[in-house]
Structure 1
């Protein structure tokens, strides 16, 4: 069937085949690259937020607590806890539209405030950090309450002795803290121990949506470029190949009837021009051969 098609249709089918194959390969590659790029962008944003929360923790621990120290000796204030301060600041930040879908949690294996208790998945993340002390960061996707989330996690390690004032033993903790949270949780922490993980998560649809928008834009550009290319190639093919060959076929038909006045006209110095020259030489040779055949007949007469 392909052999019976006109030259223009053959080239069109060939270009379409190349286009579809290229589109399949490029779409697969683009989808992967764009998805990775979307993840990197969200991760970069999440890490900035995490650094901000670390700054809040540091400020609370080094600036706020010393000022409140006289009062803290008499009364426990949750606002003086770095993790509490960071969580509250982040909740305020989530009131902004750009950060509304971001979630922050200091997932802890044995927290004082059960709000920070690590769930099953978060526990596995913390255990990974505990088993691999050199591991500084994890990222990926998880399921939570039926939703797909993209998360970034970093370990929480007890690096300051001051943290153990409230987390070593119940007897060493402020009495007001015990009254508020009890003495069952948040104790027996050790210096340099990894007790939890800072986790920032965002719905995975943000990754998919961002990648999908970029993917559709690139695919649209590719479709337009290939459509223009197919149109341009077909137009050039018709003008410089199909039409000249059609005219040559018509002239050859006229010459075959004995009309030697017809000319194979084509001025371009390309392959089609070479064919036109070859046809003209063939026509001249044919004309000479016919004349030679006619001369003996004249002598006989």
Structure 2
């Protein structure tokens, strides 16, 4: 029962720890993508803005840069299970179109501007995933160059994506959510691996303690009690010459001493009874 209860408690704690570890990694990745966005917006976009009138350069779009950098990062086995998306309600590129679940995340951020982060599990066609999301807002004036209206947007952008989406944005408006997700199996596998290691250690300790307790019980209590039981049985059948051995100074030793005093008292009583019986017969 101790192992079962410990296993349940450890499973809950370690799963939460695994979730926190994955969430911490996801947040680091998200902050990194935020830095890529800022770099693209503040340094790349101004340098290439003049060329946008004649040639569309997706590298000048912060969302595109962040997505491409993240895809390159996924070539590393450590991060291949992570996915990044800037889910937008009204995107220029349909690749960034928010699904119904992501759209609800965006609406939650819009309705509660003090809300800075949402996380949890969701079910997708490929299975269950763990996600962490943060609001995506129009934080720079340069973003409005492409997203304020078709009239002010670069012609090359209009030619590539048209005028159906990605316009009417306002400065500081929350237009989407940055979402990093990872298959839930990664969280569960990490928790199970940790649980197995910890439970193995706990089980070894439990078994070691149980064996030690049994050895001590057998040596300090069971064996002395068995010896006293045999001696008491012999005394009860009239063999008063056997002795109780007080082999220790603990409660078992005190019990042996008490039995020995009782044996002496019984021996004295039997002798008196014997003399009294013989004396009465002689009269």
What is the TM-score normalised by the length of structure 1?
A: 0.91
Residue 246 in structure 1 maps to residue 226 in structure 2 = yes
In the aligned structure 2, how far is the partner of 1:185 from the partner of 1:259? Answer: 107
Match of 2:140? 160
Residue 193 in structure 1 maps to residue 169 in structure 2 = no
Match of 1:265? 245
Question: Is 1:244–1:266's contact at 8 Å kept on the other side of the alignment?
Answer: no
Residue aligned with 2:78, SS? helix
Match of 1:3? none
Residue aligned with 1:99, SS? coil
In the aligned structure 1, how far is the partner of 2:45 from the partner of 2:147? Answer: 16
Residue aligned with 2:199, SS? helix
The alpha-carbon deviation at position 119 of structure 1 amounts to 0.5
In the aligned structure 2, how far is the partner of 1:297 from the partner of 1:76? Answer: 128
200-209 vs 63-72, which moves further: 63-72
In the aligned structure 2, how far is the partner of 1:61 from the partner of 1:296? Answer: 118
The alpha-carbon deviation at position 24 of structure 1 amounts to 2.8
What is the TM-score normalised by the length of structure 2?
A: 0.96
CA RMSD in angstroms comes to: 1.1
Match of 2:203? 223
Match of 2:86? 106
In the aligned structure 2, how far is the partner of 1:148 from the partner of 1:297? Answer: 94
Residue 235 in structure 1 maps to residue 221 in structure 2 = no
Match of 2:75? 95
The alpha-carbon deviation at position 31 of structure 1 amounts to 1.2
Residue 179 in structure 1 maps to residue 181 in structure 2 = no
Runs of 5+ consecutive residues of structure 1 not aligned to the other structure: 1-19
Structure 2 matches for 1:2-13, cutoff 5 A? none
Runs of 5+ consecutive residues of structure 2 not aligned to the other structure: none
In the aligned structure 2, how far is the partner of 1:66 from the partner of 1:203? Answer: 38
Residue aligned with 1:140, SS? strand
Among 49, 58, 70, the alignment partner of 2:29 is 49
In the aligned structure 2, how far is the partner of 1:67 from the partner of 1:174? Answer: 15
Q: Deviations over 1:62-91 (max 9, x none)?
A: 111122122224332111000001111111
Among 54, 58, 67, the alignment partner of 1:74 is 54
Among 86, 89, 99, the alignment partner of 2:66 is 86
In the aligned structure 2, how far is the partner of 1:226 from the partner of 1:199? Answer: 44
In the aligned structure 1, how far is the partner of 2:32 from the partner of 2:58? Answer: 20
In the aligned structure 1, how far is the partner of 2:175 from the partner of 2:137? Answer: 6
The alpha-carbon deviation at position 29 of structure 1 amounts to 1.7
Match of 1:128? 108
Match of 2:98? 118
